[in-house]
Amino acid sequence: MMLAALPTQGQDLLARQAPIDRKMKAVDSVALIRLIQYEQMESPAADLYQDWENVNAHRATAVPDSFRIDLRHFCMPTPSRVITSNFGSRWGRQHKGLDIKVYIGDTIRAAFSGKVRVVRYEANGYGNYVVIRHHNGLETIYGHMSKHLVAPNQDVRAGDPIGLGGNTGRSTGSHLHFETRLCGVALNPALMFDFRNQDVVDDYYMFRKSTYSKESAQATRLRGVGGASIVTEDRLDIPGSSAAVAQRSAAAVSTRLHKVQKGETLYSIARKRHTTVDAICKLNRINKNNRLKPGQILKYN
């Protein structure tokens, strides 16, 4: 009798459990939807890019009028502080990134977390290069490397090694060619990265079509080769936009600028810039007792 009763009891238990299972399934579905929505909110790239392909290094598409780029949780792609070539007009053509001095074999790292989209070799251009699409909407390109350390479709975290410094492709010396692109359109990396100080410029960069060119020229003055002494022409090629017309070049200026770092004084800045405190005060219309703030910009010649 006991053996005959067990199946019935088991069936009753399953019958009572079924509504609970359906309820838990509904809960799981809601949780999954919320998780997907959260991930999409945290990954603006999902809305910016319609496709994923491993052939083209970049392909320009429509750029939003404004877009906030999250620069937190970054890693500088190289510890090198030496910029050898600015973004902008160079030798009669547009240079779409920054050239950073590295040596053959130096480790190159992912600037942000994301997924590797392209790993290729281009003899007449980037040489050995990697393209990574990041959750913040940017794509970064790392060119002229001697070796790849990642594969297409590989997930990477900020700081992961992706290649080694080199001199491959169209290159006249070992360096890293570093690009930042939004929807395939090259943006001046100096707007976001300060290689001299090994930091990002801010937690966020707010891209706006209407002010991009002016901001890009200013970023080059502050963080490009030779500080403010070299300013390059900036051009933003946005399909279907009036900004697709080459922007007027920024006139080279002789004024040099210094960005105040934490702990610096007028005296330490004067020594560093081979000038005098009196000269800095006169140029900036301040006195020797003025308290300097980190991030403050001072003229020094």
Query: Residue 94 corresponds to which tokens in the numbers above?
Result: 């547009």
Q: Is 122 exposed, middle or buried (0-12, 13-18, 19+ CB in 10 A)?
A: middle
* Confidence at residue 244, expressed as pLDDT on a 0 to 100 scale: 42
Is it the case that residue 65 has pLDDT exceeding 50?
A: yes
Q: Give 114's pLDDT tier (boundaries 50, 70, 90).
A: very high
Whole-angstrom CA distances from 13 to 6, 8, 10, 17 are: 11, 9, 5, 6
Q: What is the spatial distance between Cα 34 and Cα 132, in angstroms, rounded to a whole number?
A: 27
Q: What is the pTM of this model?
A: 0.66
Contact 143, 127 (CB under 8 A): yes
* Confidence at residue 230, expressed as pLDDT on a 0 to 100 scale: 38
Q: What is the spatial distance between Cα 295 and Cα 226, in angstroms, rounded to a whole number?
A: 18
User: Average pLDDT in the 29-49 region?
Assistant: 64
Please give the domain boundaries of the chain with CATH numbers for all domains: 66-239 (2.70.70.10), 257-299 (3.10.350.10)
User: Average pLDDT in the 39-45 region?
Assistant: 60
Look over the chain and give the mean of its residue pLDDT values, rounded to a whole number: 82
Chain position carrying tokens 């053959």: 104
Query: Residue 291 corresponds to which tokens in the numbers above?
Result: 């308290």
Q: What is the spatial distance between Cα 10 and Cα 173, in angstroms, rounded to a whole number?
A: 76
* Confidence at residue 17, expressed as pLDDT on a 0 to 100 scale: 55
pLDDT digits (tens, 9 = 90+) for 152-180: 999 999 999 999 999 999 998 999 999 99
pLDDT digits (tens, 9 = 90+) for 204-242: 999 999 999 999 999 999 998 864 333 344 555 555 444
Q: Give 136's pLDDT tier (boundaries 50, 70, 90).
A: very high
> Residue 245: phi, psi to the nearest 5?
-75, 140
Whole-angstrom CA distances from 24 to 12, 77, 182 are: 19, 45, 41
